[in-house]
Structure 1
Amino acid sequence: MAAIVEPNVSIVGLPGSGKTTFLAALWHLIQSGEIATRLRFGSMSNEDYAYLNQIVKLWRRATEQGRTQIAGMKSVSMNLVDGDDRPIRVSFPDVPGEDYRRMWEDRKVDEELAENLGASNIMLLVNGDRIKAPAWITERLHLAGLVEKGPAEEPARWEPRLAPTQVQLVDLLQHLMRRPLDRGSRRLAVMIGAWDQVEGEGLSPMDFQVAKLPLLDQYLKSGRDGWTFRTYGMSAQGGEFDENDENNAAAKTRADANRLRELDNLSTRIRLLQGGAESHDLTEPLEWLMGDR
């Protein structure tokens, strides 16, 4: 029997980037067998089954995931099989986005998260519809309702959470290339999510990265830290889901969710774009991340 290769993948993203939704869509895709995929399902532990079945149930119902509530680290491992029938184990730490924000704001990373971020392959999820663009500090505070409109009597206080999205992402990637997280040259898949919400701008995923995340784009293209990267556009939902009504009596329902629930093939909700090609296969970036094994 062939030995299982373990080129782990760490899913990285700030709060609201869609990490749990990605896992739910991926699990539906490889479990349902509705469409052909680059990687196929092999097996996993019973504990992981329970967790993934919980989040995929909401995905199939076109209902938003609740906030990730994890006591410590939750790592999901899947045994997949490639086109040559070689078994591959892929592990995903499903980590609250706040843990990554803490790395930016407090310059701290706990030991368990550091161990999981030591993977040789990184998938960076970015919500394309929630990119915080650069702005003056006073403007950012005004938009947040923290200061009155007009000249401030005293200089506005800068806080790390006010930093633009791309600044936080570049800092995070630089952390991954410094001790104790450094593992040498690594592969990176930049996944620009909520593509159904931003594709109306008429940009390709790479052009979107250049226009909306120029600092991140320049950092990666400079080769300063040795990232080998690809940029994808991704819609893991296919449209707007109903709000999660758990502990929320005023949860909103959306017409788009009804359309998504009525699709005969739920896997067609998923869209992946890269280099002019489009598919429904979320395992394609995973196959690329694993590279030559």
Structure 2
Amino acid sequence: MAKSDKQFVSISIIGLPGSGKTTFLAALWALVNERRVAKVLSFDSIGENDHSYLRKIVTVWRKATEQARTKLTGLSAVRMNLKDGKGNVVEIAMPDAPGEDFRAMWEDRELGRALGDSLANGNILLLLNGNKVKMPAWVTERAAQRRATGTQKTASLPKDWHPRAAPTQVQLVDLLQLISHAPVGHTGRRIVVMISAWDKVEGEKLTPDAFLVAKLPLLAQYLEAGRDGWTSRVYGVSAQGGEYDGNDVNAEPVEGGAPKKTRNSRDADRLREVDIPANRIRLIFGEQESNDLTEPLQWLMQ
């Protein structure tokens, strides 16, 4: 490809509410614009695209402050022109939809035309919060807990079931199946599974692949079986590098009204002291660690 040529690549970032999509985009924007940090793809230009949303979220990210909930009217696409080491330019278009839109696909079986069109082509970056995985309630485990505590099973009135009560892996597998078949999408695409909040779960001493197998076995088996033709990679990511201000809802003020220094606020102070904010990013692939969020994007572009 000639240096002046430009490719167009569509990568859809999907995930349930709280999966970290906004934080990922903010960290990515900070990284590609940071010349002092090595990466496989760097910023080339923004073209005629409006990047006010990116400027807003990266400002919050640099301050180590919790991002506000994504509130979009209609589907918005984050676009940026990136280039590799040879000067080849690719325009990345990442439709940015709130997690509630993806939850509605599972709970209400509803999908807007604009979001459906954006999911029909291109490859997928699936974000899931490793610290908020809703596990199945196994009958054998409940029985073992009762035996261990000496409690008896008590009769209770049945509760109305809501789709939101389903385990995380069930919701995500259904979501991937929906975008793998007509009229929404097609089979045979690449997908990056990005386990966010990796700093919260790395204490279990598992690689991202092993974490997926251990905590979301249904999702891991679905991807491995290849029924819908997914070619997958699994990463762990801490796009913010630690706890931000605003994450601790139980923080209480000290005498005089000054905010009490919690572990979260102390961690946020540490993050703000990092000379190059992009160095706060941690990306884990197998046993390797870097801060290059563009590496998964390059793999998805192939």
Say whether the fold is shared (TM-score over 0.5): yes
1:144 is matched with: none
Contact 1:232 1:272 in 2 (8 A): yes
Deviation at 1:265, TM superposition (A): 1.8
Q: SS in structure 2 opposite 1:273?
A: strand
Q: Distance in 1 between matches of 2:155 and 2:277?
A: 52
Q: Distance in 2 between matches of 1:88 and 1:47?
A: 14
1:72 is matched with: 74
- Return the index of the structure with the highest Cα Rg: 2
Deviation at 1:156, TM superposition (A): 1.8
Q: Distance in 1 between matches of 2:279 and 2:124?
A: 25
Asked if 1:118 is matched to 2:120, the reply is yes
1:15 is matched with: 17
Letter in 1 for 2:43: F
The 5 Å alignment of 1:224-243 reads 224-243=227-246
Asked if 1:165 is matched to 2:168, the reply is yes
2:224 is matched with: 221
Letter in 2 for 1:183: H
Q: Distance in 1 between matches of 2:233 and 2:132?
A: 21
Larger deviation, residues 112-121 vs 170-179: 112-121
Q: SS in structure 2 opposite 1:190?
A: strand
1:106 is matched with: 108
Unpaired runs of at least 5, structure 2: 143-152, 254-258
Letter in 2 for 1:8: S
Contact 1:120 1:183 in 2 (8 A): no
Q: State percent identity of aligned pairs.
A: 54
2:93 is matched with: 91
Contact 1:66 1:244 in 2 (8 A): no
Contact 2:119 2:185 in 1 (8 A): no
Q: Deviations over 1:150-194 (max 9, x none)?
A: 845422221100000000000000001111222331000000010
Larger deviation, residues 83-92 vs 44-53: 44-53
1:145 is matched with: none
Larger deviation, residues 176-185 vs 15-24: 176-185
Q: 1:275 aligns with which of 283, 286, 289?
A: 286
Larger deviation, residues 219-228 vs 260-269: 260-269
Deviation at 1:276, TM superposition (A): 1.8
Deviation at 1:46, TM superposition (A): 5.8
Letter in 2 for 1:169: L
Q: Distance in 1 between matches of 2:38 and 2:175?
A: 34
Letter in 2 for 1:12: I
Unpaired runs of at least 5, structure 1: 140-149
The 5 Å alignment of 1:229-268 reads 229-243=232-246, 254-268=265-279
Describe the shift of the 1:244–1:66 C-alpha distance in structure 2 as closer, same or farther (beyond 3 A): farther
1:154 is matched with: 157
Q: Distance in 2 between matches of 1:183 and 1:75?
A: 21
Q: CA RMSD in A?
A: 2.3
**Matched pairs, number:** 279
2:147 is matched with: none
Q: SS in structure 2 opposite 1:7?
A: strand
Q: Distance in 2 between matches of 1:244 and 1:31?
A: 27
The 5 Å alignment of 1:43-62 reads 43-45=45-47, 48-62=50-64
